[in-house]
Amino acid sequence: MQDFLPAARRCLKSVFGYDDFRPGQAEVISAVLEGKPVLAVMPTGSGKSMCYQLPALVDEGLTLVVSPLIALMRDQVQQLRALGVEAGSINSSNDDEESDRVWQALRNGRLRLLFLSPERLAMDGLRQALARAGVKRIAIDEAHCVSEWGHDFRPEYRQIRAAVEAIGNVQVIGFTATADRNTRTDIVERLFDAPPSIFLHSFDRPNIDLRFAAKNQPRRQIAAFLQGRRGQSGIVYCASRDRTERMADWLNENGYEAVAYHAGMDSEKRSRNQDRFLQEDGVIVAATVAFGMGINKPDVRFVIHADMPGSVESYYQEIGRAGRDGLQSWTLTLYGVEDMALRRRQIDEKTIDDERRRIEHARLSRLTMLCESATCRRQALLACFDEQASPCGQCDICRGEVALYDGSVDAQKALSAVYRTGQRFGAGYLSDVLTGATSEAIARNRHDQIKTFGVGADKPKAAWSAILRQLFAADALGSASEEHGGFRLTPRGEAILLGRETISLRKEAVRPPMPARSNGTQAAAVDGLDSADAAVFVALRARRLAIAREEGVAAYVVFADRTLLELARQRPMTLSDMAAIHGIGAAKLERYGEAFLEVLLSAA
């Protein structure tokens, strides 16, 4: 069998400027170059796109890439062209000149990668043109979208198989970052006519710091997290469109560069805000989950969930947009009982069969248990994907910010309060009952006369609210009413109340002050640099931004932060020395080398 990897490695260095593959890439690329059907489940940031881009350059065939978003297609085309690769996209945002350029390259056989949406691929006339152009393979990005079991089902992905058959005998390769066993089975059945080689790589992203917190003045919590992070790019996910607008306004008022993004915005403004986030340094986007699929910005330094995500799969996909360049990145997830109740209600209101509803409730339960976990966050997260891991040492729990205790007695007190007050009140009311706080409502309901009144006076009200929240997450409490909220006992709650089952609870985290970090625009990536190197990095970053604005591309299309960091540390003084830096291939060296060498020489 022919060994394609030596040629692939040479191309990797000459075009992309990388010395070797990332973990897991070589085996996938080898299988693709051997012509096998392939399904690769690889974590976000592991270099999935390289697994279809590099083969297109090595065998010089035409690879068709099915991608869900025009912005993502445009982004990848820009990056490939900056590398000297003939790539293009056919989409509604193209002007006449761009469309002519792409079609001419397609007819001449010069095009190596063509990006299309699944809707565009469904057009008969285009299928016929692609069949004549001699497509060698079809790469399907975000392949989980084909499955109803996936967290991002898109019906138009179901048309891809018919398009493959219409175009002819072409190799099919699929890529996704999140696909459980049910989703993988569905992908194989709907995209492949023969069993593919399946590659399941570790879901671990060790460069991402995981932190969770129960909501307690959320804006104060977010402000503390953002302290010292000005100049960094980040995403703040919010549960509603209105909240994204208000969050962006609040961030701007507090001195951050921020934009909002949601599906209800005017399309022109939405595109403008997305472009600003992608193209500029240090912009924060406050967004609903409508934002992010396929976002390829490598220097997103943090992701905040201002509201609880919808599932573990969604959470993993969303935090995976941080740190795609491999540099240290941070996450903060805020959650509360209201979030949990909302997510459960959304599942119950969906028009789906009972089995699908059961699976979605199970997924939500995994997420709530991750939020309230008392073991390493990374271990708990990877366990959701059937992967074992050692304690990471860098999440909030491993840092000792969360403690566990036998909470059976406290749970019985709280559950008794729920039961004796009629199973219809919420956390605030029940916490008053437990602490013995009098109020007009408690007196009117005569709940100051029940046995449980004041039984928890040894703890503050906030502690009982936290216990009730954990009991809800552990399925010991359920929602009493969709309309009015409140708690009721579940079968598990009854078992704990009657002493048939014990439960461990988390003590509320005592969070130390955030570590001091760099201020100013250099905060994006100067950790680990001395003051002299940091100054060079800032100057390189300024030159990159000027070039990007002049060319109308994202700053990272010129060079990623990792490349600038290596330039700042190593200070190459010649173009030949610069060629050894990570991310500088032949085309970029020729195009940008002199401009950045000028900055380095002036700093010498």
Q: What's the one-letter identity of residue 370? A: L
Supply the DSSP string of 402-453, one letter for each residue: -EEEE-HHHHHHHHHHHHHTTS---HHHHHHHHHT---HHHHHTTTTSSTTT
Identify the residue whose tokens are 């002519």: 100
Q: Locate 604 and state its tokens.
A: 């010498």
What's the mean pLDDT when you consider all of the chain?
88
511-555 pLDDT, tens digit per residue, is 443 443 444 434 444 556 888 899 999 999 999 999 998 988 888
CATH of 208-383 given 3.30.470.10, 3.40.50.300, 3.40.50.12160, 3.40.250.10: 3.40.50.300
SS3 at position 136: strand
Domain boundaries, the chain: 5-200, 208-383, 403-507, 528-603
DSSP string covering 148-184: TTSTT--GGGGGHHHHHHHH-S-EEEEEES---HHHH
Confirm whether 5-200 and 208-383 share one CATH topology.
yes
Report the relative pairing of strands 38-41 and 197-200 from DSSP bridges: parallel
Distance CA 262, CA 287 (A): 6
Determine the pLDDT at residue 474: 77
Say if domain 528-603 classifies as CATH 1.10.150.80. Answer: yes
CB 373 within 8 A of CB 380: yes
For 403-507, the fitting CATH number among 3.10.129.10, 3.40.30.10, 3.40.1190.20, 1.10.10.10 is 1.10.10.10
Task: Let me know the angle formed at the C-alpha of 564 by 76 and 318, rounded to the nearest 5 degrees.
Answer: 50
Tokens coding 388: 């074992």
- The secondary structure of 350-378 as a DSSP string is S---HHHHHHHHHHHHHHHHHHT-SS-HH
Would you state the pLDDT for residue 521? Answer: 39
Model pLDDT, residue 292: 66
Please report the pLDDT score of residue 370 as a whole number: 86
d(CA 511, CA 212): 11
Closest CA to 108 of 127, 132, 84: 132
- The segments of the chain whose pLDDT lies below 70 read 1-2, 149-152, 292-294, 482-485, 508-528
Q: Which residue has the tokens 């954990």?
A: 470
The superfamily in CATH containing domain 5-200 is P-loop containing nucleotide triphosphate hydrolases (3.40.50.300)
